[in-house]
Amino acid sequence: MGLFLESRKSWILQVFGNAGPGDASSLVVSVLCDVLGIIQVTVGQVGELFLQVLNDMPLFYKVILGSPPASQLFGGIPNPDEEVRLWKSFRDRLESIMVMLDKRYIADTCFTWLRECVSKISGRNLTDAIGSGQDLASAEKSIRETMESKQVLQESLEWLKSVFGSEIELPWSRIRELVLEDDSDLWDEIFEYAFVGRMKSIIDLRFRELTGAIDVVNSISAVGELFTKLDDVQMYLNRPSTAGGVWFLESNARKTGVASGFKVQPEESEFHSCLNAYFGPEVSRIRDAVDDSCQSILEDLLSFIESPKASQRLKDLAPYLQSKCYECVSSILMTLKKELDSLYASAENSESPSAVTVEKSLFIGRILFAFQNHSKHIPLILGSPRFWASGNASAVGKLPSLVKQSRFASDSAICDSPGRQSSLGSKKKNSSSIAALLGVKEGASPELEELNKTIGDLSIRAYNLWILWLSDELSATVSRDLKQDDALSLSAPWRVSDIHLPLIA
């Protein structure tokens, strides 16, 4: 039996040579299915060859001990009686040597062989070729279909029928029951650990890509270049509003006109327009990039969780996702903190902060405000996974927020970017996935509170620099205007008769 299993191990290694981590995902999945088929067929053949079921002799013993009678072997040769005697003696010794293998021994040997096969699969790192959670879910579906297929175990169906006395619908389950004497899933033995590990790698890679894509230092520098020539206070205050920072806009109702024939936009859309105008295009781009990536990563994870292993995967992967999300956002916040430290150092080295320094500080403040109040998927991910089951729109009112929301917060979270509507709720999930999600406690992760504190502290610093600058400029303006006021320079007090009122016709 050992020699037979060793030969099959060589066959598996040969099949592995057809694919590697750099190959297409479909080829890798095909190779994994082929390997799984070899493993199933091998275990089935071990049972048929060596396992004694009922009173029937295993096939291996039937072939070895079922030779023709001695008279047919030695007919027509000199001294056949002596040859027959020697043959019977050999048969007696052979029968005494060929004892039936114990069922426990067969099961243990097969499990040892399975673990060796698993190490070979793990060593190939074939799952590295699968690039998303959705592809992992598709690969799992194909592998599980192979595992439950009657076609793979076609040659063992007659043996199973003779053992159980009827047609077998799930041949692998019966073979596992007979040969392995264990109800563990072959998926658990071979693939689960590798697939969960690959999902973690995908999450980690996606958040690292997001961190690399959000270059807030370059964005802040671009803001500085835009306002370099606006050192004069009046020029700065009268600057164009295209870069953001303007909240109050002309009402859409007044802009379109009642008689224009266009329907006036609802209050939420008008608020959304004002919000985008306040953020400006660059802050909106950063906010959308972070939110879109978080949404995409979460949806990808949910695609992978939808499986018979949903509960176990959620317990392992939900904290991992939350940890990586926290690390990514914290990295962006630490970059903003360094920029604020630099702005404060620059302000301390001069009599008063320049307009460029102030605008950079306000730009950072708008980024923080966007994350704090108008990001949907950061609090969704860092909140309870229970909310992942119902999707965004239906859970918005219950979502944990980074801060207490304004009356528009729930609506703006949905309509901030109409093109970015989440599809979490629109995807049909199986019952195991929903049950796993709804079985989680409602409490948010500790990282959510930590982010709230960090963003709050940075926001105070960002806007405090603007307040200091504005106070200094207002004080200087008032002082200058007071000095230029002629009435204050008069030595005599004002008299009512000195005030000349225009005649009223």
User: What is the per-residue pLDDT across 153-196, written as a single tens digit (0 to 9) for each?
Assistant: 988 998 898 888 888 888 988 888 888 887 767 788 788 888 99
Structure pTM? 0.77
Tell me the mean pLDDT in the region 259-285. Answer: 69
CB atoms within 10 A of CB 144: 18
Q: Cα-flanking dihedrals φ and ψ of residue 107, to 5°?
A: -65, -45
Q: How far apart are CA 497 and CA 494, in angstroms?
A: 9
What is the number of alpha carbons within 13 Å of residue 389 lying toward its C-beta? Answer: 19
* Mean pLDDT score, 368-382: 92
pLDDT at 141 over 50: yes
Q: Which pLDDT score is estimated for 68?
A: 64
Contacts of 346 (CB under 8 A, 6+ apart): 353, 354, 357
Q: Nearest CA to 202 among 290, 286, 129, 124?
A: 129
C-alpha dihedral over 223, 225, 227, 232, to 10 degrees?
Answer: 150
pLDDT at 271 over 80: no
Q: Is the pLDDT of residue 367 over 90?
A: yes
| Helix intervals (H) in 66-191 | 70-73, 80-97, 103-124, 133-147, 157-164, 171-175, 186-190
Q: Is the dihedral of CA 159, 164, 168, 174 positive or negative?
A: negative
Query: 236-250, 399-413, 440-454: lowest mean pLDDT where?
Result: 399-413
Reading the block at residue 221, the tokens are: 């520098």
